[in-house]
Amino acid sequence: MISVIEKKDNGVAILSMKNDFLEIVVSNYGCNIMKVFMSSKDGNVSDVVLGYQDIDDYGPGDDYLGAIVGRVANRIALGKFSINGEDYSVPINNGPNALHGGILGFSYQVFDYEMKEDTITFHYLSEDGEEGYPGNLDLYVDYQLLGHTLYVTYSATTDKDTLINLTNHSYFNLNGNKDSVYGHILQVNADQFAAVDVNGCTTGEIIDVTGTPFDFREAKTLGDMIHLEHPQLTLGNGYDHPFIFNTDNNQVSLFEPKSGRKLTVSTTLPQAQLYTANYLDSREGKNGLGNVARHAICIETQNMPDSIHLEVNPTTLLKKGSVYEEATSYTFEVIK
């Protein structure tokens, strides 16, 4: 069942998607996933994503909690790139680099929306030159709730060659933000990860996870791994790296043993930026709880960050006449 909880004068709406297993509260402001209510093995219902009490608390500088990120997620080195011999500059908003679509990227835009039986379709037209990006990008994002799973589907076209790299930036804490995610058990089907520099930008170096704290091919407790010594953990102040998948489905699972809650992420995309909320600043979030560093993990499915500079055939390049189509699903289960 989908219903409207609140509608504001500025066009921002709060919507509930609900079935027998989950209630997911979303907004057309940045396609934000504001709340995910699920039960524990003891029958206690908690909200398992970080966020803010009211949609008015979201906006630039909010750490992208729950939002769709674009036109280009992650970093573009020095905020500069070339397409077809033409140079472009986009806003520098993260050290020397461009991050997550710019100053007012998709996270801060009001989308049109249409509600169906179990699906909300969001729509946004990003005009040519918005945040410096070329081409009119026509974007649709579907949120569909079926059983234990939220399906997120992206579709976009452009009238000029451009860049696109979309993700959802939800901050997951399966214990309901009662504590850090150090007790969460993580498994990632990835043999390699991409190295980053001191500013968090991918360098082009691909590292084998074997023998490193980045090896989650077998399930391991986050707190046991994140404190191990590794230069990349030092540079990222924790995990803030793209993990390159070795399978095409069910690539990431997260389990919190006290509650029995489990999240499985499956995607058509080749990798995910795993980010252990290293830079949250403890601002007050929902129910008076602070959004504290290391109290969440983001699983940001996407193509290679800074692909336009690092890949011979950039996976983030969308050609005129082509269609960008990707999907990620989030399955929330209780293990008793």
Please name which of 140, 143, 185 lies closest in space to residue 164, comparing C-alpha atoms.
140
**H or E segment to which residue 234 belongs:** helix 231-236
Residue pair 235/205 in contact (Cβ under 8 Å)? The answer is no
Active site residue 230: no
30 vs 19: CA distance, rounded Å: 23
Question: Is 169 a residue of the active site?
Answer: yes
Q: What is the pLDDT of residue 61?
A: 83
Q: Which residues contact 111 (CB under 8 A, 6 or more apart)?
A: 28, 29, 30, 31, 122, 123, 124, 141
Please tell me the predicted confidence (pLDDT) of residue 62.
87
Cα radius of gyration (the chain): 19
pLDDT tens, residue by residue, 198-232: 999 999 999 999 999 999 999 999 999 999 999 99
DSSP-derived secondary structure for 201-234: -EEEEEEE-TTSTT--SS-EEHHHHHTS--HHHH
Question: By the 8 A CB rule, do 137 and 297 touch?
Answer: no
Q: What are phi and psi of 52, to 5 degrees?
A: -120, 160
pLDDT in tens, 25-82: 999 999 999 999 999 999 999 999 999 999 999 998 889 999 999 999 999 999 999 9
DSSP string, 40-99: -TTS-EEE-B---SSGGG-STTSTTTT-EE-SB-SEEGGGEEEETTEEEE----BTTBEE
Res. 305: pLDDT tops 90: yes
Q: What share of the chain has pLDDT > 70, as a percent?
A: 100
Q: Which of 137, 168, 169 is nearest to 153 (CA)?
A: 168
**Which position among 130, 131, 256, 300 bears the catalytic label?**
300
For the segment 225-282, what is each residue's pLDDT rounded down to a tens digit? 999 999 999 999 999 999 999 999 999 999 999 999 999 999 999 999 999 999 999 9
**Residue 218 burial by CB count (10 A; 0-12/13-18/19+): exposed, middle or buried?**
exposed
What class does CATH assign to 2-334? mainly beta
276-301: average pLDDT: 95
Separation of first and last alpha carbons in the chain: 27
Contact indicator for 36, 48 with CB cutoff of 8 Å = yes
The pLDDT of residue 172: 98
- Would you report the helix, strand and coil content of the chain in percent, each value rounded to 5? 10, 45, 45
Q: What is the percent of the chain where pLDDT is above 90? A: 97
DSSP 309: H
pTM over 0.85: yes
Cα 52 to Cα 288: distance, rounded to the nearest angstrom: 9
Give the active site residue among 169, 184, 241, 295. 169
Per-residue pLDDT band at 307 (split at 50, 70, 90): very high
With CA atoms as reference, report the closest residue to 279 among 131, 56, 28, 99: 99
**Structure tokens, 25:** 């509260």
Dihedral, 300, 303, 306, 311 alpha carbons, nearest 10? 160
> For the chain, what are the domain ranges?
2-334
Measured over the CA atoms of residue 85, residue 89, residue 95 and residue 99, the dihedral's sign is: negative
Q: What angle do CA 306, 272, 188 make, to 5 degrees?
A: 145
